[in-house]
Amino acid sequence: MKTARAWQFRLKEVPIMSGSRQRPPLKRPVWIIVLVSMVCIFLIAAYIYPLQYSAAAACNFFNSKGCAMYVDVPSTPSRALTDDETYSQLVVREILKKPSMPSKNPKIAFLFLTPGSLTFERLWDKFFQVAEEAPDEQSRTSNLNLEPVSILSSSREGSFVNLGGSQIKSYSKILGHKNHDQLASDEDWVLNQLAAKLNLLFGARGKLAAVAKPVSELVSCKGKKPVHVSRYFVGRDIRSDKVDWGKISMVDAERRLLAYALRDPDNQHFVLLSDSCVPLHNFDYVYNFLIFTNVSFIDCFVDPGPHGTGRYSEHMLPEVETKDFRKGSQWFTMKRQHAIIVMADSLYYTKFRLYCKPGMEHGKNCYADEHYLPTFFHMIDPGGIANWSVTHVDWSEGKWHPKSYRAQDVTYELLKNMTLIDESLHVTSDQKKTVMLKPCMWNGQRRPCYLFARKFYPETLDKLMHLFSNYTVV
């Protein structure tokens, strides 16, 4: 074999073999192998040791029905918990771990907080009637069950609770009478314990017979009984206690509404509304929006200003710390598990009953209906709430009360624009007036935020009736 000489600068001559040139063997792509290995290790670790709140995010992205069994592993507390906190956390954890009672016909409970007759009853009648006019019998039955929902209401002057949909068949259950057949689950136990308390709350109002009659026929009332124009509301009014604006009695009314609605095991989601609220979508849209998600739409945000954290009282320590104090709209929707937790809570409710009220020390005015539920759920299940309300309220005027709509304000454009808003808005009450915008996410998808709106004057009813079929079209 012949050889050739190759000369390189400042190097010795090197012999080079002649003939066909062969390529050196390729080096293995080591960096690719290392990268793939790291990704595999990360995925295995994430599967075995999921990050905190990761499951909650997944539950929001996918259909929530399959996520009910997962409960986040509690983080190590920064201090020693009191006995009451330990008991409370145990109860909450057990309720969240246990899926809601299965229902072949899941329903939504509409809870109206109203001083008497419902101003927009004709509009709500149309809302429910449209659902009943579904094109097929199966759809009509599954969505409305011909007993649309549990509709409850409570008021500032001693109001009525409208139980539209499911009547309470035996008042003995409300009075807390023992019925071992009803104690088949922890949920039933909680509700029966609550029933005993209801006996104390309502027993002094009149003689309550344990017979199978609508609740409205069993309870005496001081106020004027509402006059109904809708068959969905007739004969389903329940007397409530007096409710004072800004005081814990407002929260009491909300809990009372939830208590009655929870008696129907088919009620899987609960909506709190006022007498000035109107629907922005048709029944089917609202039903699907609420039933097919696994979160409660409870408003919750940090307001460092005087109308937020400035209302906090150190008397709430050690259970409620300043860093956990939250603010939010009163108007919520709540899944069944969360409603049961509200009924079971005594520890945090007591803190707000004692230390969040108007006319406190140093001139502070704290309003429990704006702080109790946001703070409570931020502490016990932050991944289980949406942090925004599905009821639209306009605070742009910067007053103590939100913007109210007169007849001349109500137009198709106004209502349609409300249905298209897909960002929730919060503004802090400090000098910075920080504006916080957050996209409204539903099961991982950006969606319009609002199902309802307020505050509308009674004079707007005719216009709303005329426009309802147009602006509620999806």
Helix axes 368-380, 248-262, angle to 10 degrees: 60
Rounded CA gap, 240 and 323, in Å? 35
Write phi, then psi, for 296 (nearest 5 degrees): -100, 140
pLDDT at residue 455 in the model: 94
Instruction: Find where tokens 């005027």 sit.
Output: 397
Q: Quote the percentage of the chain above a pLDDT of 70.
A: 66
The sign of the dihedral angle between the CA atoms of 84, 250, 186, 173 is: positive
The helix (H) or strand (E) run that includes residue 453 is strand 452-453
Q: Find how far residue 435's CA is from the centre of its chain.
A: 22
pLDDT at residue 32 in the model: 76
Please check whether residue 289 is in contact with residue 468, taking contact to mean a CB–CB distance below 8 angstroms. no
Q: Hey, what long-range contacts does 226-230 have (CB within 8 A, 24 or more apart)?
A: 226/116, 226/117, 226/118, 226/160, 226/162, 227/117, 228/117, 228/118, 228/121, 229/121, 229/122, 229/125, 230/121, 230/122, 230/124, 230/125, 230/128
Rounded CA gap, 342 and 340, in Å? 5
Rounded CA gap, 212 and 198, in Å? 17
CA distance readout (Å), 362 to 208, 244, 311, 358: 44, 22, 10, 11
Q: Which residues pair with 4 in a beta bridge?
A: 16
pLDDT per residue, tens digit, the chain (474 aa), is 444 444 343 434 444 444 444 545 555 567 777 777 788 777 776 555 444 434 444 444 334 334 443 344 445 566 788 888 888 888 888 888 887 777 889 999 999 988 878 899 999 999 998 766 654 444 433 333 334 445 554 444 433 344 433 322 222 222 233 333 333 344 444 444 443 333 322 222 222 222 222 222 222 233 456 778 888 888 777 667 888 888 999 999 999 999 999 999 999 999 999 999 999 999 999 999 999 999 999 999 999 999 999 999 999 999 999 999 999 999 999 999 999 999 999 999 999 999 999 998 888 899 999 999 999 999 999 999 999 999 999 988 877 788 999 999 999 999 999 999 999 999 999 999 999 999 999 999 999 999 999 999 999 999 999 998 877 765
| Predicted confidence (pLDDT) per residue in 284-300, tens digit | 999 999 999 999 999 99
pLDDT at residue 28 in the model: 57
pLDDT at residue 116 in the model: 78
pLDDT at residue 194 in the model: 43
| Predicted confidence (pLDDT) per residue in 337-372, tens digit | 999 999 999 999 999 999 999 998 888 899 999 999
pLDDT at residue 46 in the model: 58
The two tokens of residue 338 are: 């969360």
Beta-carbon count within 10 A of 347 CB = 17
Beta-carbon count within 10 A of 6 CB = 10
Strand order through the sheet with 107-113: 151-153, 107-113, 267-274, 333-335, 296-299, 385-387
Going by C-alpha positions, the residue among 248, 241, 256 that lies closest to residue 206 is: 241
Instruction: Please give the single-letter amino acid code of residue 433.
Output: K
The two tokens of residue 457 are: 């004057």
Please check whether residue 112 is in contact with residue 153, taking contact to mean a CB–CB distance below 8 angstroms. yes
Cis peptide before 455 (omega within 30 of 0): yes
pLDDT at residue 45 in the model: 65
The per-residue DSSP string of 108-174 comes to EEEEEE-SSS-TTHHHHHHHHHHHHT-SSHHHHHHHHTTS---EEE--TTT-EEE--S---S-HHHH
Return mean pLDDT, the chain: 74
Q: How many helices (H) and strands (E) does the chain have?
A: 14, 17
pLDDT at residue 62 in the model: 39
Alpha helices in 292-397 (DSSP H): 336-344, 347-355, 368-380
